[in-house]
Amino acid sequence: MHVSPWVWALTLVGLVAVIAVDLFVINRDDTKEFTTRRAAFWSCVYIGLAVLFGFGVWAFSGGTYAAQYFGGFVTEKSLSVDNLFVFMVILSRFAVPRHAQHTVLMAGIVIALVLRGIFIAVGAAAIAQFTWVFFIFGGFLIWTAWGLAREKDEEAEFKENALLRWFRRVVPVRDEYAGNRMLVRSGGRWTVTPLMVVMVAIGSTDVLFALDSIPAIFGLTAEPYLVFTANAFALMGLVQLYFLLEGLATRLVYLGKGLAFILGFIGVKLVLHALHEYGADWAPDVPIWLSLSVIVGTLAAVTVASLVAQRRQDAREAADSAGSGAADAGAPVESGNG
């Protein structure tokens, strides 16, 4: 797939324009909370843009590259849903005011997008030069999948990473928020507000998530342009998805297991591809249509199973509550007269 420099330039300009619209149009009233209704509307807009871009890839480069893009986008989007658990913990940990959460998330994601672009460039260069890199990517994804599959259903935790700890040591940080301001002059010097700290926390944490998502998408396509745009569209709608799934995310109880299966599948696919490239004729090269089918099918099955399991749990809790209430009502009332 040949992508000329001017196409790259137009793509980057388009992404900057989308970010500007998000910051200065969608979030123009920073004192207004981002409601679920607004989140649903703008989530549909972002997903629509991603699908429209995929059709553009289909029109100009063919169905194979379009399938690679859609497979990458769906994979990155599903992995980003899992990341939302940690984002929720970060915002709670720093007690971010709700009206400021959209700005914080958007700024953190812009930082992550820039850093992911660097990761993608390095990964694409390595793959172009060394086929054995597929073994490393594949092995890492299989190891990550094994860890996810063994993970117990516990509340997500947030631990400050090295970058965030360094930022706190080097930069003077005040204790109180100052609206949506990130810099405040206090005591004759400039200090950053906790809002800036949260942005760094989200941006750097998302880069850690990229350690499995970037190899995963390289397992579906080796085209840097498709890898970058799929990541960009998945991240661009992540802010709205956060507010839309804020209550639903905790109900997707089997999401981790589904992502473990997807990452394991892609890891095996990468290893088989590397073996095929080294002349092992017995190792099949998994076609993109099969990869896309496995990813979409797994996510659909996981979503249905999670919602059914949650509905059954809600019904059991309601029955237990009703039974407890009936028992209390039927209990004898002690008389006050001896």
Per-residue pLDDT tens digits for 3-15: 888 999 999 898 8
What's the CA gap between 29 and 22, in Å, rounded?
11
With contact defined as beta carbons under 8 Å apart, do 199 and 23 qualify? no
Report DSSP state, residue 23. I
Three-class DSSP category at 140:
helix
Mean pLDDT taken over the chain: 78
Q: Where are the domains of the chain?
A: 5-316
Q: Rg of the chain's alpha carbons, rounded to an integer?
A: 23
Confidence of residue 338 (pLDDT cuts 50, 70, 90): very low
Q: Which residue has the higher pLDDT, 333 or 254?
A: 254
What's the CA gap between 216 and 157, in Å, rounded?
24
Query: Alpha carbon of 149 to those of 17, 206, 220, 325: distances in Å?
Result: 39, 21, 21, 39
- Over residues 28-32, mean pLDDT: 56
DSSP 35-100: -HHHHHHHHHHHHHHHHHHHHHHHHHH-HHHHHHHHHHHHHHHHHHHHHHHHHHHHHHHTT--GGG
Q: Which residue has the higher pLDDT, 275 or 80?
A: 275
3-state helix, strand and coil shares in percent for the chain, rounded to the nearest 5: 75, 5, 25
Instruction: For helices 194-218 and 162-170, give the axis angle rounded to 10 degrees.
Output: 150
What is the tens place of the pLDDT at every residue in 189-207? Answer: 788 888 888 888 877 777 6
What's the CA gap between 87 and 35, in Å, rounded?
17
Q: Which residue has the higher pLDDT, 288 or 220?
A: 220
Q: Could you tell me the maximum CA-CA distance found in the chain, to the nearest angstrom?
A: 95
What's the CA gap between 59 and 309, in Å, rounded?
41
Q: Which residue has the higher pLDDT, 24 or 75?
A: 75
DSSP 270-300: HHHHHHHHTT-TTS----HHHHHHHHHHHHH
The pair of three-digit structure tokens given for residue 156, joined into one six-digit string: 């997500």
Reported pTM: 0.72
- Over residues 297-324, mean pLDDT: 81
